[in-house]
Structure 1
Amino acid sequence: MTTFSFHGCFSGAIEPTPADPALEGSPPFRAVTHCEPFRAAAGHGWYTRPPLDCSLKWDGASFTYRPSGSSEWLPLQHLSVADVCRLRGVSPPQDITEHLPVLSALPEPGVLQIWTGLLARTAPGWHLLVRGIPNRPGSLVHEVLEGVVESDWWHGPLIANLRFRRTDEEVRLSRHLPLLAVQPVRAEALRSGLRRETAFHPYGPGEPASAVAEFLTDAMSVRREGAPGGYRAEVARRRRAGDDGQE
């Protein structure tokens, strides 16, 4: 099978797009041009978008929403696939999907669950981390709660939870703006025993200090005085050489 596959579950679900190291033009020039760790994190995985255009508010007790093109705020407890399809003027699917929630207020105060309209399947040993967009400035009004889905065996709705931080402030969802990042994670990396396979070497004289000095010397050798981007250039060189750094 394909290592990663996404399936749209109703009309309006948007195909994920590869994550952009340049965050679609929003980050500082220096970060995009010279900082490989920034670029690698920002460009890891895919962007997903909401399947509808609307605005959301939380008043401290309940949610309301305003569909795109409307001036009326409506109570929001549960907005189903059928509701979203009607808002978009298309026919809903005549199956189990019709009644599944796209937006759903959870029992926890200020938490709203959103479904992208997608389900995901991954090859054995691969899971998916669902999170906000890495390195994009966060909203003061809401945040995306992160979660890992074991998508190599569970092929349900690809969802996320939004936690609202402020009341009576508008949050806009747009089908044209990325809302979530979906990033592949090896299942092995989540194994609980892996955390016990960690070593810490405190500073001390002799061999430990010598090793630290050697590590730092090697690391700093790729950074060029007065010329940013040395680490990025070294990463590119090693990739061209086949990851092991041997030309």
Structure 2
Amino acid sequence: MQAPKLEGFSIHSNPARLVAAGSEREWMDRTSDHYAYRCTPLAIANATGWELLNPSGFSATWTGGNGRDDIILRPHVAGEKLHQTGFFFGHGIISFHPGYLFRTDPGWVVWVRGSPNRFKDGIHPLDGVVETNWLPFTFTMNWRFTRPCTVHFEKDEPFCFITLMPSVAIEDVQPVIRPLEEEPGLHREYLVWASERSKFSAAKDAGDPFAREQKWQKNYLTGKSPSGKSAADADHRVKRGLNQPVFGCPVNHSAK
């Protein structure tokens, strides 16, 4: 199956750099024995998209008012122009210009947000879903202060994260709530998992050397059910590696 298209048309000569996102996070590096990386869904989410990197470092101060002049920007390098940053909405919101007009295939849109599992005290990224399958103009990436304070955006820090999603398929999804007992096979697997999880945790707490050496149960990582059967299909991933942007004609990666 051919991969969906994602094209970024630069609208000026020096747009923000667009790169494939990585799974690493500083706070995850600082966890004991890199414990946070044992959560495969967390690491996969971190790398499921592309980041736009801030071309210039600056500080932003919000005084708490709702006007545009209640936000003060100061470049880290004296005299440097902050061409891609501004504020249009007031109410403590900073807007970044990505510098690109993005286009996707019919049926696909771009989810615009902050990088997953990155945190910045005092300000939070706002999500948006943009219909890039037809849009002839660009969008802004917006952050809203959570309190009056000063925050810093460093040079080459990601200010925006984009990923693709089907545009309307989710509207046909019908969530259904059922008792787990109605699926006997799934129920049995869950009970095995719950029992093994409890035993493993108790063994670790008791100082069992095997449990401590194993560190954590790896059912999700290995794609196996608690009873040991292979459960995951060919789409199972333990890490994500997206294509870096290229210049010029798109490359066909559908054979990957």
State the TM-score, normalizing by the size of structure 2: 0.68
For this pair of structures, how many residues does the alignment match?
Answer: 206
Match of 2:63 in 1: 59
Q: Which amino acid aligns with 1:115?
A: H
Unmatched 5+ residue regions in structure 1? 73-82, 86-100
Q: Distance in 1 between matches of 2:193 and 2:169?
A: 25
Deviation for aligned residue 1:173: 2.4
Partner of residue 243, structure 2:
none
Q: 1:144-180: CA deviations, max 9, x gaps?
A: 111111111114224211111121x222223311122
> Which protein has the bigger strand share?
1
Q: Indicate the SS of the match to 2:158.
A: coil
The structural deviation recorded for 1:132 is 1.5
Alignment of 1:1-247 (within 5 A): 3-23=5-25, 25-27=26-28, 28=31, 29-32=34-37, 34-61=38-65, 62-70=70-78, 84=82, 102-107=85-90, 109-136=91-118, 138-167=119-148, 169-191=149-171, 193-194=172-173, 197-202=174-179, 208=182, 210-216=184-190, 225=200, 226=211, 227=214, 228=216, 229-234=218-223, 242-243=234-235
What displacement does 1:50 show? Answer: 2.8
**2:126 touches 2:143 (CA, 8 Å); kept in 1?**
yes
Residue 11 of structure 1 aligns with an amino acid whose one-letter code is: S
SS of equivalent to 2:14: coil
In 1, Cα distance between the equivalents of 2:57 and 2:150? 13
Q: Which runs of 4+ in 1 moved over 4 A?
A: 217-225
Instruction: Map Cα deviations across residues 13-42 of structure 1 (whole Å, 9 max, x no partner).
Output: 12311111123x44131222x221111111
**Deviation of the 1:135 alpha carbon:** 1.5
The answer to whether the 8 A contact 1:8-1:15 is kept is no
Identity %: 23
The one-letter code matched in structure 1 to 2:73 is Y
Q: Secondary structure at the match of 1:232?
A: helix
In structure 2, give the amino acid aligned to 1:116.
Answer: P
How far has the Cα of 1:71 moved from its partner? 8.7
Check 1:230–1:221 CA distance in 2 against 1; reply closer, same or farther (3 A cut). farther
For 2:186 and 2:170, locate their aligned partners in 1 and report how far apart those are by CA, in whole Å.
Answer: 28
Structure 1 pair 11–30 and aligned structure 2 pair: CA distance change class (3 A): same
Which of 36-45 and 1-10 deviates more? Answer: 1-10
Unaligned 5+ residue runs, structure 2?
A: 201-210, 225-229, 237-256
Summarize deviations over 1:41-74 as a string: whole Å, max 9, x none: 11110111234332211111211111232399xx
Change over 3 Å in CA distance of 1:210–1:161 after alignment to 2? same
Instruction: Give me the whole-angstrom Cα distance separating, in 2, the residues matched to 1:221 and 1:8.
Output: 55
User: Cα offset for 1:221?
Assistant: 10
Separation in 1 of the partners of 2:178 and 2:22? 37
Check conservation: 1:12, 1:52, Cα contact below 8 A. Answer: no
1:220–1:234 Cα change, 3 Å: farther
Q: Distance in 1 between matches of 2:231 and 2:113?
A: 29
Letter in 2 for 1:16: L
**Partners in 1 of 2:157 and 2:8 — Cα distance?**
18
Q: CA deviation at 1:200?
A: 0.6
C-alpha distance 230-201 of structure 1, shift in aligned 2 (>3 A): closer
- Partner SS, residue 116 of structure 1: coil
Q: CA RMSD in A?
A: 3.2
Give yes or no for contact 1:222–1:230 (8 Å, CA) kept in 2: no
